[in-house]
Amino acid sequence: MLRPARASDGLSPVAVRITKDRLPAFANTGVFIAAKDWNEKASYEKPQWIRSSHRDHGLYNKTILNLLTAARLLALESPQLSAADIRDQITGRSAPAAEAEAEAERENDFLEYFEKDRLRHVASGNPRTADKRRSILRKLRQFAGGESARLPFSALTVTWVKDYQSYLLTTHRNAAPTSNKELQVIHTVLKQAIADGLLEFHKDPFLHVRLKHPKTKKARLNVAEVEALAAAAVNPNTWEQYARDCWLLQFNCQGSRVGDILELRHRHRADGRLTFPERKTGKTKNIPIHAALEELLNRYPNTAGSPDAYILPFLDYTKPYAQPAPADPEQAQKQLSKLLDMIETGTALVNRYVKIVAKRAGIEKPITSHVARHSFADAARVMLGGNIKAIQEMLNHGQLRTTEIYMSDLSESELDVATLSVYNTRTTFSEHPPTADVQ
């Protein structure tokens, strides 16, 4: 097989891949060629791996064939040998030297490092990040040549970045923003490798690549459109009602994220307040229940009689994923992954059905659950006269670190005044209860 090219001259080493019990080992042949001289269709029966256009094709093909034959014979004569044992014997390497070389190869492999980074996220309780890393790693391996391929840090050049970006855009048909996000993740991992001393800073290829981020206008509804959404006719106790009300709860809970609203339980409502944790930031939201919010919450009484029951019907509090985390870390991780999967499914339902209701309300703008967050921010900006400190505190917007530090002294009473000044200028939703017989 042809391995990744060297940075020094662009030539790729040719190796014999030996697989035993699904574990691969690679025997270097000492042959280095340009990718254009490699024939992927060659085989043991048709040993023309090096194209005839290469001046040393005869010698190189014979070298590869001899090494491959030696590996086959040894495997037949000594079936107890592992792939690594066979490689060491046909290349004449001692076991310590082979292990040292293998370890050095692993240390120099970006794909191996990327996998270790993914496992760190698994261990630290970030399964969604780990899943995204797995998806990116799968594409990286495909681009590098397959599951057992390696990608030396030295192969990460400006040309490689551009070629990989083209691969994402064409082979995987990713949109430009999606491919740029994946490249940003790769760069994040690479910067960590640089910090670990595996690559010199000046060799970072992303220093010379500008990832374009097309500006997109954030969709948001104005107050009149929010009222129109609330007034839209929906059949009671349907996904249309649940999705629309979830969106309105997001808006009325200081622009909360959809996952946090899906996880609202009846025990989070007490003493005229709605107090619940934010999964993304780890902070707690503590919101006074104003008139519009009370009307929405009252649509969902606690018929189960349990304080642990969810307010909205997207999740089931009786299921294992909704129980307290088990003590065993592995089981806790599985439980969290299942819960996040259910939240993702619920989010998809909200996005699907809120679009239907919005269209019925005459709203032509693209709308998703996250639009509720932008819509609240826009409404708050208008109602509060541009009080960014209050808005950012209500949104718990972690990316604006400087602003977050600056506004950290905002008291609960000040937040209550800011919240009520936003919502008390609006009517409640009691004028617009769910209606029946929607065509």
pLDDT at 391: 56
**Mean pLDDT, residues 268-287:** 92
pLDDT exceeds 60 at position 297: yes
20 pLDDT tier (thresholds 50, 70, 90): confident
**Mean pLDDT, residues 246-266:** 95
Share of the chain above pLDDT 90, in %: 41
pLDDT at 403: 35
Measure the CA–CA gap between 25 and 105, rounded to whole angstroms.
12
CA distances for 132 relative to 36, 128, 136, 167, 216, angstroms: 33, 6, 6, 18, 23
pLDDT at 300: 97
150 pLDDT tier (thresholds 50, 70, 90): confident
Partners of 32 in beta bridges: 13
417 pLDDT tier (thresholds 50, 70, 90): low
pLDDT at 407: 33
Chain mean pLDDT for the chain: 83
For the chain, percent helix, then strand, then coil, each to nearest 5?
Answer: 55, 10, 35
* Residues 374-404: tens digit of each pLDDT: 888 777 776 666 555 665 566 565 554 433 3
**Mean pLDDT, residues 229-235:** 95
Measure the CA–CA gap between 355 and 339, rounded to whole angstroms.
25
Tell me which DSSP letter residue 313 carries: T
**Mean pLDDT, residues 303-311:** 97
Measure the CA–CA gap between 266 and 300, rounded to whole angstroms.
9
310 pLDDT tier (thresholds 50, 70, 90): very high
Which DSSP helix (H) or strand (E) runs through 365? Answer: none
Those residues with Cβ within 8 angstroms of residue 370's Cβ, 6 or more apart along the chain or in another chain: 257, 258
Angle between helices 412-423 and 371-383 (to 10 degrees): 100
Poorest-pLDDT segment among 1-10, 292-301, 367-376: 1-10
pLDDT at 281: 80
**Mean pLDDT, residues 88-94:** 74
Higher-confidence residue of 299 and 199: namely: 299
Cβ-contact 371, 220 below 8 angstroms? yes
Coil, helix or strand at residue 221: coil
314 pLDDT tier (thresholds 50, 70, 90): very high
**Mean pLDDT, residues 27-49:** 88
Measure the CA–CA gap between 113 and 136, rounded to whole angstroms.
13
Cβ-contact 266, 382 below 8 angstroms? no
CA distances for 274 relative to 122, 242, 265, 311, angstroms: 32, 19, 10, 12
pLDDT exceeds 50 at position 411: no
pLDDT at 348: 93
pLDDT at 405: 33
Those residues with Cβ within 8 angstroms of residue 427's Cβ, 6 or more apart along the chain or in another chain: 227, 292
Measure the CA–CA gap between 410 and 390, rounded to whole angstroms.
8
Domains of the chain: 12-106 (no CATH), 110-208 (1.10.150.130), 223-431 (1.10.443.10)
406 pLDDT tier (thresholds 50, 70, 90): very low
Measure the CA–CA gap between 25 and 14, rounded to whole angstroms.
13
With 0-12 CB in 10 A as exposed, 13-18 as middle and 19+ as buried, what is 176?
middle
Cβ-contact 86, 20 below 8 angstroms? yes
Measure the CA–CA gap between 328 and 129, rounded to whole angstroms.
21
Nearest-5° Cα angle at 183, 181 to 187: 115
7 pLDDT tier (thresholds 50, 70, 90): low
pLDDT at 190: 93
CA-CA-CA-CA torsion sign (167, 168, 171, 176): negative
- Type of residue numbered 260: D
* Residues 282-291: tens digit of each pLDDT: 889 999 999 9
* Residues 181-222: tens digit of each pLDDT: 999 999 999 999 988 888 888 889 998 888 766 555 668 898
pLDDT at 30: 83
**Mean pLDDT, residues 227-256:** 95
Those residues with Cβ within 8 angstroms of residue 216's Cβ, 6 or more apart along the chain or in another chain: 177
